[in-house]
Chain A
Amino acid sequence: MLLQQIFNGLALGMGYALIAVGYSLVFGILRLVNFSHGSVYAFGAEIAMVFIVSMRLGIIPGILLSMLFTGILGILIDKAALEPLRKKGSPPIASLITTIGISNIVTNLLIIFLGSEKRNFPNFFGHSGIHLLGGTVSMTQIMMCVISVILMLILVFIVFRTKIGLAMRASQQNAKAARMMGIDVNFVIRFTFFLAGVSAALAGVLIAGYYEIVYPNMGFMAGLKAFSAAVLGGIGSLPGAILGGLIIGNAESMAVMFLGSTYRDSVAFIILILVLILRPNGLFGRKGITKV
């Protein structure tokens, strides 16, 4: 039973980790908590539903298209709302509030065009499972973990092994110097939003497939939990986001087991509050990100 909950927690945690990565990537470069990220995640799940169920494009093309479009949504959000604020040199709080506004806009557009009701999302991997150490791991859970790990590895590769990744890290550490070295920092920021959107869309598809349900507001709670995961891991840190997601996912499934499912949504926030009090920089956070 305990083992079963750990399996559940790992699969769910991988999903949270994929969303948390988006918070961390954007925070790393802009020092901004992008509160529209939850709605971007919901957008990814919703349009995957459109591509796969309404347009019958097939599962894999549907998921890939959803990732592409959600990545583009990320770019649009930055281009339309955040870049103008940066150009004007607005205070950070203006950007923060703007992201909350964008979140509402995206969610409401989803409601207008796709309806507000909860709909069934297809389960791609069937309900078969493997019996392991007294628990049952479903194919869906295994695939959630496998696909998430693949995307994480791709992200880590991009950030630490490619030229654009080097530009991302340089821009995080000193945007002004990065510009002077020939890096178009605004392009790097747009690319970061694209990556965040792509991961959020994949998380949306996986989590919607796991619960077999999709609705426009699904990003609200998942977004906040993933935000807690990012803070727990140390916001701005890619490995931190992954570990934070796994811990939050497991804490949630443990809460279901020991406290009952009424408390499942609260445990992430209890962790968030504890982290903020006890270790504000998170597990992998740097102490006071300084510029030399």
Chain B
Amino acid sequence: MLLKIEDLHTNYGAIHALKGVALEVNEGEIVCLIGSNGAGKTTLVNSIMGIVKPAAGKIIFDGRDISRVPTYSMTKAGIGISPEGREVFPELSVEENLRIGAFVVREQRQIKESRERVYELFPRLRERRQQQAGTLSGGEQQMLAVGRALMSNPRLILLDEPSLGLAPNFVEMIFAMIRKINAQGVTVLLIEQNANMALQVSSRAYVLENGIVSMSGKASEIAGNPLVKKAYLGMA
């Protein structure tokens, strides 16, 4: 097991945002976490990344409890992230953004290889490599955010709302990329509001509701669940 979260409680100001979340991600999987706005998805991501400190519980990555590890050590531990809202560095070029993604990598050769890999996944980024990231379209910025996360050769990649605010053709493309990245051996934890697409690419799924996991199982089974259909897939 690559990531194991046990009985995680996190407070967000005065709000008890996560109330005992348990979640597991096995090596090689695509796992998705779906839930509506305010269910605690982002708090869970922030807890994994050490941006907020959990009040109780454990986050075990690769056999080691990382719940008290500072944020900047996560890439070194092997976790890459494409954060919600993309958060690319607007005044740095595409290439510089990618260089930052490989900040913890020491070997120049490895950085070059990773960059080639990202440019092969997203040829658009190669075309725009000297351009300031802030001038890219939303979809291109999302590609950059995912590419940047891959630069450190992570074992696990967290994708926080990668489809948010994107045009439909970009959404299709991003999800196709997720499959491709996973096929290259990267484990994926996908956090999505777009439950429909997320359930299609994932092998397993968790439904987060009011700070607890209300449902979990095979993605196909979750997608077939009448409650999920009604609440998240917009089907009667």
Contact = CB atoms under 8 A, between A and B. Distances in A.
A174 B86 CA distance: 11
Contact of A182 (B83, B96, B103): B103
Given A177-B87, A180-B72, 16 more contacts: A163-B103, A166-B99, A170-B89, A173-B89, A174-B89, A174-B90, A176-B87, A177-B83, A180-B71, A180-B75, A180-B87, A181-B75, A182-B75, A182-B104, A185-B72, A292-B86
Interface of B: 49, 51, 70-76, 81, 83, 86-92, 96, 99-101, 103-104, 134, 141, 148, 152
Contacts of B51: 176, 179-180
Interface residues of A, number: 20
Contacts of A292: 86-88, 90, 134, 141
18 contacts: A166-B100, A169-B89, A169-B91, A173-B90, A173-B92, A176-B87, A177-B87, A179-B70, A179-B72, A180-B49, A180-B71, A180-B72, A180-B75, A182-B76, A183-B103, A184-B70, A184-B72, A185-B72
Interface residue SS majority, chain A: helix
B83 A180 contact: yes
Contacts of B86: 292
B89 A183 contact: no
A142 interface: no
A254 interface: no
Interface of A: 163, 166-167, 169-170, 173-174, 176-185, 290-292
A184, A185, A292 interface centre (most CB from chain B within 10 Å) = A292
B100 to A, nearest CB: 5
Contacts, number: 71
Contacts of B76: 182
Contacts of A169: 89, 91-92, 96
A89 to B, nearest CB: 11
Given A166-B99, A177-B83, A182 B72 contact: yes
A179 B90 contact: no
A178 B90 contact: no
A182 B89 contact: no
B75 A177 contact: no
B89 A177 contact: yes
Nearest to A292: B90
Contacts of B88: 177, 292
B71 to A, nearest CB: 4
Given A183-B72, A184-B72, A167 B103 contact: yes
A169 B99 CA distance: 12
B104 A180 contact: no
Contacts of B92: 166, 169-170, 173
A181 B91 contact: no
Contacts of A173: 89-92
Contacts of B134: 292
A174 B87 contact: yes
Contacts of B104: 182
